[in-house]
Each structure stands twice: as structure tokens, then as C-alpha cells.
Amino acid sequence: MDTLTLFCTASLIAGGGLYWFVCVLGSAEQKGKRAVHLSGGSISKEKVQDKYDQYWSFFRRPKEIEKAEKVPAFVDTFYNLVTDIYEWGWGQSFHFSPSIPGKSHRDATRLHEEMAVDLLNINPGARILDAGCGVGGPMRAIAAHSGANVVGITINEYQVKRARLHNRKAGLDKQCEVVCGNFLQMPFDDNCFDGAYSIEATCHAPKLEEVYSEIYRVLKPGSMYVSYEWVTTELYRGDDPEHVEVIQGIERGTRCRGSEATRT
């Protein structure tokens, strides 16, 4: 329960401070400036309140969010609001990873990402999929480590722009490709990837079977898929109000939605 409480606290802080941070926080590329001095970003200040209200309105109709046709707008709105916040405060890898004694947070994150691609057992030059790539932190670490060509997909156009910018700056734009699209209906041919991975991304799917079946479709026969996601353990009790409050706080603060995605 301690871990769940920690996650809930972090997510509620993110959700509660969302409007203020987005108003004053802009492009994470502006080095050497404090948050209150940053400007720019995915949406103008004039539209932040409307986007914020739109995001929270989804939770007044929770059953609507579980419908596949509603999910893209829900997730896209969330990331328009928080991408710069995440990048400025968290870095380019939007996920948790275990700490490693003697290693910095950045190094521990990179090693965790490299482990994911090592499990795919692919060769340099292979073409692999990043399902839900964000701004591409894992993609770049994985491409540099493995020599693979990585194709990332994200629903958010602003994240596509950020990822492409970072890819160019890292000298990996020839090795890393980013497309805007829904990973429930990917614009890729059948059997076209040598491997695939997702890192804290498929929690956006209303049903895990829907995104996993789509990933299966685009993988070549015999290829591997690696994923790690938000889940609860057998200790979760749906009849315990405190447990339910923790889960709902995570859902509201981190845009994870759908009982199967968060409670598997």
C-alpha cells in the first residue's frame, strides 16, 4: 500500500498543479531559465484553461473514456497539457525505473531501457516499434544501444515535433522515425517489424487486448514484444475505499484509464 500511496500522491500533485505549471511553463529546450520565465509550448496561455477543463470533464463521464473512439481525444488533451511539465521536471523518458546503487537516475533509466531491447534479441539494422513513444527518450537510448531502427508512434502531434527535434540533436534522426497516430489503429503494414516494445504506454488503451492484437498484427512471425506497465497486485481490494481512492487518483493524475489497463 505504501507504493500505491506514493504513486497517488505524485499523481495528485501533478493534477492539482497542472493549470499553474502549464501557464508559466514552456519549451523545455530553453536551458538556464526558471519555470516562471519559460514560454511557448504546445498550447497558448489563452487556451490552457479550456484544455484543462476539457481534460477534467472526461472524468465526469467515466464510461465515455472507456470507449475506444473517445480515448484519442482524452489522451491527446492530457499530453498537450503536461508534455512540457514532464520534460522540464522529469526528462525525456516519461516512465519510472528502479534505482541502481551507484548510478544516477538518468543512467538507471537508460540501463532499464536498454534491458527492454536486449530482451527482444534483435540485430543491428532491425526495424522495431515503440508503441506510445512520447518525446522519444527510450527510443534514442534503445537505438544507440542496439543499432536498431526504431519507429515510434504517439497520438500527440506536439510530442511528434519534440521527438523529431531531440532525434536531430542526438544525431539519431536517420535511425529514429516518429509518426503521429493511434496505436489501436496503426498505419503500418502487417508483419513489418522485427520487434516491438511499450513502456508505460498501453495503459491508455480501453482494453489491453485491443492494443496487443494490433501490435501482434504488425510484428513479423516469431518476433518478440516487451512491455511493462502500471498494474496493481493481488493485494488490491476493490471494496476498500482507500484502495479505490488511490487507483482513481492515479487515473486522474496520469491519464491511465480503463479498468483492465490499470488493474490487471
User: pLDDT digits over 189-218, tens only?
Assistant: 999 999 999 998 887 777 888 899 999 999
If residue 12 lies in a helix (H) or strand (E), which one and from where to where?
A: helix 2-16
Do 78 and 166 lie in one domain? The reply is: no
Do 46 and 112 lie in one domain? The reply is: no
Let me know if residue 97 belongs to a domain. Answer: no
Q: Which domain holds residue 127?
A: 105-228
pLDDT score of 154? 95
pLDDT tens, position by position, for the chain (264 residues)? 444 444 444 444 444 444 444 444 444 444 444 444 444 566 676 777 776 676 666 666 656 555 656 666 767 777 777 788 888 888 888 888 888 999 998 999 999 999 999 999 999 999 999 999 999 999 999 999 999 999 999 999 999 999 999 999 999 999 999 999 999 999 999 999 999 999 988 877 778 888 999 999 999 999 999 998 877 788 999 899 999 888 877 776 655 544 333 333
Do 223 and 126 lie in one domain? The reply is: yes
Please tell me the distance from the alpha carbon of residue 79 to that of residue 18, in angstroms, as a whole number. 11
Do 38 and 57 lie in one domain? The reply is: yes
**Cell digits for 74?**
482524452
What is the pTM for the complete model shown? 0.73
Do 131 and 222 lie in one domain? The reply is: yes
Do 117 and 223 lie in one domain? The reply is: yes
Let me know if residue 174 belongs to a domain. Answer: yes
Where residue 252 falls (left for φ over 0; alpha for ψ -120 to 50; beta otherwise) is: alpha
**Cell digits for 101?**
546503487
Domains: count for the chain: 2
pLDDT score of 258? 40
Do 112 and 190 lie in one domain? The reply is: yes
Chain length of the chain: 264
CATH code of the domain covering residue 216: 3.40.50.150
Let me know if residue 255 belongs to a domain. Answer: yes
**Cell digits for 244?**
479505490
Do 222 and 242 lie in one domain? The reply is: no
Do 217 and 258 lie in one domain? The reply is: no
Q: Is 12 exposed, middle or buried (0-12, 13-18, 19+ CB in 10 A)?
A: middle
